[in-house]
Amino acid sequence: TLSDLRPTWKKIVKRSNITYSISPKKSTGRRPALTPELEDFVCSRFNRQMTYGKLANRLFQHWGVGEKSIKSVFKKRGYSRYLALRKPPISERNRLIRKSWAPSRVGTFVLNF
């Protein structure tokens, strides 16, 4: 019969031992809003200290980049956000206790470790 003469795609693939897609697969999903150069700029030392809102509204407003895309760039680069806490002030009493404790142990730390 005619159907026997025409091989199916499975038979063609099996006979030719093709294990990969013949045509390249189209990329799915939305393209990144930021180019690698802009990502470097966002992750610079000064801009890392700004909030996502300030970065989106001030610096990247004309590019149409939002807070979420900036946040995803930081996450992709391995940065995380946290509250910077100040060191609590030391009382005068504790300062004097530390000052009297330190000179007696000047040479002992190297021996203990």
Model pLDDT for residues 66-101, shown as the tens digit of each residue: 888 888 888 888 888 777 788 888 899 999 998 888
> What is the overall mean pLDDT for the chain?
79
Which two tokens mark 64? 């149409």
Give the residue from 103, 105, 30, 96 showing the smallest Cα distance to 65: 30
How far is it, in rounded angstroms, from Cα 62 to Cα 52?
A: 15
pLDDT at 93: 93
Rounded to two decimals, the pTM is 0.48
pLDDT at residue 29 greater than cutoff 70: yes
pLDDT at 1: 42
pLDDT at 33: 79
pLDDT at 77: 86
pLDDT at 9: 72
